[in-house]
Structure 1
Amino acid sequence: MTDAVLFEARADGIAIIKLNRPDQRNALGKDIRDGLFAAWDRFERDPSLRVAILTGSGEKAFCAGGDLKEMVERGLQVPPRDMFPVPGDNIEVSKPTIAAVNGVAFAGGWMIAQACDLCVASTAARFAITEVKVGRSSPWAAPLIHMIPQRIMMEIILTGKPITAQRAYEIGLVNRVAEPEELMAKALELAGEILDGAPLSVKAGRDTVMLATEMGRAAALQAARAASESTYRSEDAQEGPRAFAEKRTPDWKSR
């Protein structure tokens, strides 16, 4: 890892990935892009890590988006698909991820927050898809239709105007809102609630949500049943009910 993106692997199974260019509002310059590709790969490959939290350094910005100066210097037209690290698009991440949005999440900043499974936002956070303001486009926003209503999505994209963390919570983009000094505690609390669940059940549940966003009702039901079969047949599926009956904490084996 480089100092542009910091990676903390905690003993409790939580990885904290932090964009670390606060003087540049954590914009997605090459150093941060490379660091994010490496960080997501490290998280995915480490079996001891079960949940990742993505956040930004500083008090002003989670991520202000792409580096516009770099775009001008490169004469960038259509961004290559492998330019920006986006879980669910050009990066395989099979474990739960949480965006802890500490400040502005504009354009590419919204993109990488949207790509996480869950989102906790500081009351100081602001979200915007600002591409219309600089003559660019936002094809990455297409999956947003599974998160918020169509007309709200349309207004956000067509106007480029920011929305507050509270508004983002009201429309379903954000799961929880916290005061700035409590943001990471709230994100860690959410991660801890995920860790309390049986690992194989968490994986099957996440797979079910992902399948449901890609398929029609009948196909999603069939695919989710198939994705859940190994969980039902696991040792943990017997341990959970046994622990409940014995009034003790389950001892998950992930098998």
Structure 2
Amino acid sequence: MSDAVLFDARDDGIAIITINRPDSRNALSHEVRQGLFAAWDRFERDPALRVAILTGTGEKAFCAGGDLKEMTETRMAVPPRDMFPVPGDNIELSKPTIAAVNGVAFAGGWMIAQACDLCVASTAARFAITEVKVGRGSPWAAPLIHMIPQRIMMEIILTGKPITAQRAYEIGLVNRLAEPEALLDAAIELANEILDGAPLSVKAGRETVMLATEMGRAAALQAARAAHEYTYKSEDAQEGPRAFAEKRRPEWKSR
């Protein structure tokens, strides 16, 4: 890991990944990109970590997007597929992720927030797909159609104009809003609500959502049943009802 991306592996099973380049609005420089690749890999490989929160240093910017200065210097045309760390595209994760958007999330900043499973945003945050303003492209935005209505998506992409955190919440891009000083606490609260659930059920539930966005109804149902079979046959599937009957908290074993 580098100073450009900080990794905090907490004892409660939460990993906090922080883009730490506030002097350039946490833009996706080479150092930041490599740090994020390493951070996601570390999170996925550590069995003690069950939920990751991605955020940025400061209150002004979550991530302002790609480093345009770098793109100018390298005369970049089509970005290589492995250039930007995007869960669900060139990074495979099996555990839930939360974007804690503390400021502007523009272009690539929107991209990496969108790639997280859930999103908590500061009331001061703003979101924009600004590529049309600088002659670049946003193919990464294609999955957005599963999150927000088509005409809203069209306007956001074609105009490049920012939307407020409140608007992002209204259209379904953001799960929860928090005052700037309470943002990380709100993200941790959401992570803890996930941690309260049975790990195998959470894993299968997350996989079901992913399947449903990739398949038609019948195929998704069939694949989801298969994804949940291991969960149903686990020790935790017996522990949950038993704990409910005995009026106590369940003791999850992830098996």
Please give the TM-score of this superposition, normalised by the length of structure 2: 1.00
Unpaired segments of 5 or more residues in structure 2? Answer: none
Shift of 1:59: 1.3
* SS of residue paired to 2:142: helix
Shift of 1:58: 1.0
Counterparts of residues 148-167 of structure 1 (less than 5 Å): 148-167=148-167
Q: Distance in 1 between matches of 2:7 and 2:24?
A: 19
Q: Distance in 2 between matches of 1:94 and 1:101?
A: 22
Aligned twin of 2:60:
60
Q: Distance in 2 between matches of 1:162 and 1:94?
A: 31
CA RMSD of aligned residues (A): 0.3
Deviations 1:157-195 (A, max 9, x none): 000000000000000000000000000010000000000
Deviations 1:110-154 (A, max 9, x none): 000000000000001000000000000100000000000000000
Aligned twin of 1:38:
38
* SS of residue paired to 1:18: strand
Shift of 1:205: 0.3
Q: Distance in 1 between matches of 2:132 and 2:46?
A: 39
Shift of 1:8: 0.2
Q: Distance in 1 between matches of 2:185 and 2:15?
A: 14
* SS of residue paired to 1:205: helix
Aligned twin of 1:28:
28
Q: Distance in 2 between matches of 1:107 and 1:94?
A: 25
Unpaired segments of 5 or more residues in structure 1? Answer: none
* SS of residue paired to 1:177: strand
Q: Distance in 2 between matches of 1:58 and 1:176?
A: 19
* SS of residue paired to 1:55: strand
* SS of residue paired to 1:187: helix
Q: Distance in 1 between matches of 2:176 and 2:103?
A: 14
* SS of residue paired to 1:16: strand
* % identical aligned pairs: 87
Letter matched to residue 7 of structure 1: F
Matched, 1:240 2:218: no
Q: Distance in 1 between matches of 2:13 and 2:167?
A: 31
Matched, 1:209 2:234: no
Shift of 1:6: 0.1
Aligned twin of 1:96:
96
Deviations 1:182-226 (A, max 9, x none): 000100000000000000000010000000000000000000000
Q: Distance in 2 between matches of 1:126 and 1:192?
A: 26
Letter matched to residue 71 of structure 1: M
Q: Distance in 2 between matches of 1:191 and 1:67?
A: 30
Letter matched to residue 244 of structure 1: F
Shift of 1:80: 0.2
Aligned residues: 255
Aligned twin of 2:231:
231
Aligned twin of 1:200:
200
Q: Distance in 1 between matches of 2:52 and 2:19?
A: 13
Aligned twin of 1:113:
113
